[in-house]
Amino acid sequence: MTIYPLQVESEGFDDRGAYAALFHALAEPTRLALLEHLAAGEHRVRDLVDHMHVAQSTVSKHLACLRDCGLVTVRAEGRSSWFRLADPSRLAALMTVADGLLSASGVALSLRDHHNHDKLTAEEG
């Protein structure tokens, strides 16, 4: 497999930490599910907790990560915090590109296989 140099016409590429933080935010299934739910519109933390069936602290932790990366925004209304996607069209475009990369690879990826990669490699060798 040949790896081609990544060519990005962006001055910000020099800060690989920002890219790493963004992709880290997208690398967690619960955060992806939150983004998918927020694609339907603005939601309160309580709504997301009820929908996701996870603890409020877990939802808040993931939302903080997504907010820190600029993927979601928050507005306060009374005692409630309302979250929404910061840039729905660009996030949708990014996910479309990701779908294309996965399809082009011809490999069916799964988290189970990814987490067990070292174990699977050892068993094959």
Tens digits of per-residue pLDDT, 48-83? 999 999 999 999 999 999 999 999 999 999 999 999
The pLDDT score that the predictor gives to residue 14 is 66
Tens digits of per-residue pLDDT, 74-102? 999 999 999 999 999 999 999 999 888 88
For residues 2 and 54, what is the distance between their CA atoms, to the nearest angstrom? 42
Strand positions, DSSP E, 29-89: 43-44, 72-77, 80-85
Q: Which residues pair with 18 in a beta bridge?
A: none
Q: Which pTM was predicted?
A: 0.74
Nearest to 68 by CA among 13, 20, 12, 21: 21
